[in-house]
Amino acid sequence: MNPKDPLESDVPGPLPTAPFKTEQLSNGTSTSPSSGLARLDWLWADTRAKLALAWIVVVVFVAIFAALLAPADPIEQDLRNVLGGPSWDHLLGTDDIGRDYFSRLLYGARVSMFGSFLAVAVSMVLGIPVGLLAGYVGGHTDNILMRMVDAILGFPGIVLAIGIVAALGPGLTNAMVAVGLTFFPSVARLMRGQVLATKNHLYVEAAEQFGSTTRRTILRHILPNAVQPIIVQATLLLAVAFLAEAALSFLGLGAQPPTASWGGMLSRSSQFLEASPSVQIFAPGLAITLTVLAVTSLGDSLRDSLDPVVGTERRLRRAIAKVSKGAVASGVESPERPT
C-alpha cells in the first residue's frame, strides 16, 4: 500500500483564490487597485490632503486664468488714487502708485507658480540623472559626482542662490534657476540611495543575465521602482521654492517691476505700513502661507501613503469602516462578545 501524499490528504479540494481584483497594465503585468498611487485612495481618505489639493487647484486656476479674472490691468497706474482703501472698484485697494491690488494679487499667483515649478524642474532635470549615474555605475564616477554634490551642499542654500543671481543678473527666471541649482544636490543624493537599494534586487540581476542593456535596465527596472520618494521630495521642494521665490522677490532679486509677485507685493507694502491699508500686508502673506501649507500637507499625505506601515493601517481603517457601513445599511447587528 502506497502511503497517501500528505498534501493530497489534507486538501480536500482546490485551494480558494484570493478575492482581490487586479488591473492589467500595458506591459502585460498586473497590479492591485488597492495601491495608494494606483487609485488615489490615499487622497480620498485624507481630509487634509483633499483640502490641500482643493486650494492648490484654486491657485493653479487663478494663475492660468488671471487675465480673465482680474478686474483691471495689474500695471495700469492711477496717481489720483494712491494707497486707496478697499472699494467696489478696487476690492483690495490700490498700491503706492495707484495700481489695483486685487488684480496684482491674481497675477502674482501666476508668477509664483511659474517660478516654483521652474525651480523644481531644474532640480529634477539635474538631480535625477546625476543620482542614477552615480548609483548605478559606482566607483570613481560615484566618488567624483558625489564630491561635487557635497561641495554645493557646503554652501547655505539662500546664500548660494543670491550669489548665482548676482552673477546671472536679477530676474524671475535667473532667480528660480539659481534656486533649482541649490535644490538638485538633495535630489541627486536621494536618487543615488534609491538606486543603490534597487539595483541589487533579483529582478534587476535577472534582467541583466537575460541580456538587458544598461539603458533598458535603468529605464525599465530601476527608475520606476526608485522614483516614488523623488515624487514626494518634489512636492516638498515645491513648498520651499514658493518661499524662496517670495524671499528673492522681497529682496529685489526675483521678478522685477512692474511684474506682480507675492514677494514683491509684500516688499512694497512693507514700505508704507502706516499709510497703506492693512489688507495689503496680509493678502499676499496669507496667500503664500496657505499655498506653502497646502503643498506641504499634500506631500506629507503622499509620503504616508508610500509608507508600508501607515498605508496598511489606512487601508485597514477604510475596510473596517466599509464593513461597518454595510452592516448598518443591511440591518445586521454585530454578534455580542461572549462573557
Nearest to 179 by CA among 122, 225, 219: 122
User: What are the pLDDT digits (tens) for 233-284?
Assistant: 888 898 888 888 888 888 888 888 888 888 888 888 877 777 666 777 788 8
Cell readout for 206 is 535577472
For the question of whether the overall pTM of this predicted structure is more than 0.85, the answer is no
Q: Among 103-117, 129-143, 147-161, 311-325, which is the least confidently predicted range?
A: 311-325
Secondary structure of 177-200 in HEC code, one letter for each residue: HHHHHHHHHHHHHHHHHHHHHHCC
pLDDT for position 13? 43
pLDDT above 90 coverage of the chain, percent = 9
57-306 is classed CATH 1.10.1740.10: no
Give the residue extent of every domain in the chain. 57-306
Among 206-215, 234-243, 281-290, whose mean pLDDT is lowest?
206-215
8 Å CB contact between 112 and 262: yes
